[in-house]
Amino acid sequence: MNVSLASLQTTLGYEFRDPALLRQALTHRSSHAFNNERLEFLGDGVLNFTVADMLYRRYGQAPEGDLSRMRARLVREETLAEIAQRLDLGSELILGIGEQRSGGFRRASILADALEAVLGAIYLDAGFEAVHVVIRRLFGDFLSDELVREQLKDPKTRLQEFLQGRGKALPRYELVLEKGEAHNKSFVARCHVEGQQYQDAEAGSRRKAEQAAAALMLEQLTRVES
């Protein structure tokens, strides 16, 4: 194995028994039919379970909804790409000519997929405990009390703080539709933000519908900024 891949393994804190697995994990579909897509699929599953396990054990009193939001934050593309950049994974990617020319080694989606593929490769190479150790180390910095405080806030609060931090007007909510029988009602709420299209969401209560609409709006605004 070349020096750079040896260096990557040192940074990962894991040495492959079968180096071919690491090469496959770094091979993008634009380069070869024998690529990292299957390993990415496997790594995604391993990562989601491991992060769920970490959160479940660390935050024993947090309800399911809060745990789900924290996990989504930890396994989202932006976080995975940031970790991949820390590992300098981009410099080791095996890309097709087109992706090389277009700067694919810097693209967040490609970096995130490659990181998941590497995790899948570690799982195949040495089993669950080995990849569990690597994931705990790579994601430890992101599992902070600050993250928890941020994610435990409800979406309406987070949206309000997001807008206030940018000097923008506060969101406005309205009930668009109420339907169903008295024992099984459904509510559609709309979230308006100045300068943006509205977001609608449906839930079993007006409050939950507004929270869901706020979450969608915050996701949209965050995506626009990134």
Nearest to 122 by CA among 29, 46, 71: 46
- The residues annotated with a catalytic role in the active site are 44, 116
User: How many alpha carbons fall within 13 Å on the CB side of residue 107?
Assistant: 13
Question: Would the annotation count 113 as a binding residue?
Answer: yes
Phi, psi values for residue 121, rounded to 5°: -65, -40
| pLDDT at residue 61, as a whole number | 80
Question: Would the annotation count 154 as a binding residue?
Answer: no
CA distance 178 to 107: 43
Q: What is the CA angle 217-82-224, rounded to 5? A: 25
| Structural domains in the chain plus CATH codes | 3-152 (1.10.1520.10), 155-225 (3.30.160.20)
| pLDDT at residue 147, as a whole number | 64
Structure token pair of residue 207:
């409050």
pLDDT per residue as tens, the chain (226 positions)? 566 788 899 999 999 999 999 999 999 999 888 999 999 999 999 999 999 999 999 888 878 877 887 888 889 888 899 999 999 998 999 888 988 888 878 888 899 999 999 999 999 999 999 999 999 999 887 877 666 666 667 889 889 988 999 999 999 999 999 988 877 889 999 999 988 789 999 998 999 999 999 989 988 888 777 5
